[in-house]
Each structure stands twice: as C-alpha cells, then as structure tokens.
Amino acid sequence: MYIGFGYDVHRFKNGKNLVLGGVKIANYEGLDGHSDADVLVHALMDAFLGAAGLDDIGHFFPNTDTRYKDISSIFLLEYVYKKLSKKNFSISNVDTVIIAETPKIYPFIKAMKKNISKVIRLENEKIGIKATTNENIGFIGRNEGIAAMATVLIFKNKNLKL
C-alpha cells in the first residue's frame, strides 16, 4: 500500500469562476491559476502522483503550456487516474479538506464527490471531503484565498488493470 499527500492553495481573482471539486460555485470570486485553479482537485492529483512515486502536477501540467490555460482540473484528474492505471495501481480511498472562510462548502460536497467518483471510479463512500475555516487567521482567514489538502491510499495490483 502507498500513501500520498497533496496540498494546494490559490488566491482569489476577480473575473474567474470559483470551481471546487469540479463544481462551479456561483456568486463567489474565482481563484487565480493557469487552469481553473480547483485547489481540491489539484491537491488530490498531487496526492495520487506522490503515492505512485511520480512527479508533481507542475511537471505534467506546467503553467507555461497554453494547452492547460483555463482547462478543467477534472479533465487533468482523468489523466492522472490513467497514469496510475497503467502502473497497475488501485485506489482504496481518499480523504480531503478544503480550508476557506467563504463560501460555505457543505452544500456542494455531494456534487464534488459525484464528480471525483466518476473520474477515479471509486464509490462515494470512499471519498472524504471536509471543510473548515482558518478562524480568521492568515491569508485564508482574511479571505484572500482557499487551500486544500488530500490524503490517498493506493495499492499495487499485479493482476488487475483499472
């Protein structure tokens, strides 16, 4: 079994859509990034890549490559999932946390799980998505951005292709 950990953070930016877990959240300022800046999915991808002993998302999807400008991170997660599949890894479970003062995340968790579940082919019950605030401390507490962390457990299956 292999454990991976991922972390991502982006600052808010006017004129962008806020996307978390592949869910577009209306009426909130979006996050600044080369892709859609989905911090939850970025942390998840880095966790998977780390668990598999691969390079990070900046290696696979550099912010200097115009192919990834404003791309959906859910689409990039599909690429990461296929990378793991080719190396005969199976996913046991994932656990994540989003750190944000706003918006309130709970109403969107079900849709986020559905999006992620569809891509990584894992039951919703094996996907943890939690949210917390930063108690008004630091850049997140000042509502300047959002961060996310992810932990994954994968295992090598010599006889199974995903």
Please report whether residue 81 resides in a domain.
yes
Q: How many domains does the chain have?
A: 1
pTM over 0.85: yes
pLDDT in tens, 97-114: 999 999 999 999 999 999
Please report whether residue 54 resides in a domain.
yes
pLDDT in tens, 128-142: 999 999 999 999 999
State which residues form the domain around 41.
Answer: 2-156
pLDDT in tens, 40-90: 999 999 999 999 999 999 999 999 999 999 999 999 999 999 999 999 999
Please report whether residue 43 resides in a domain.
yes
Q: What residues contact residue 156 under an 8 Å CB cut-off, 6+ apart?
A: 2, 87, 88, 89, 90
CATH number at residue 124: 3.30.1330.50
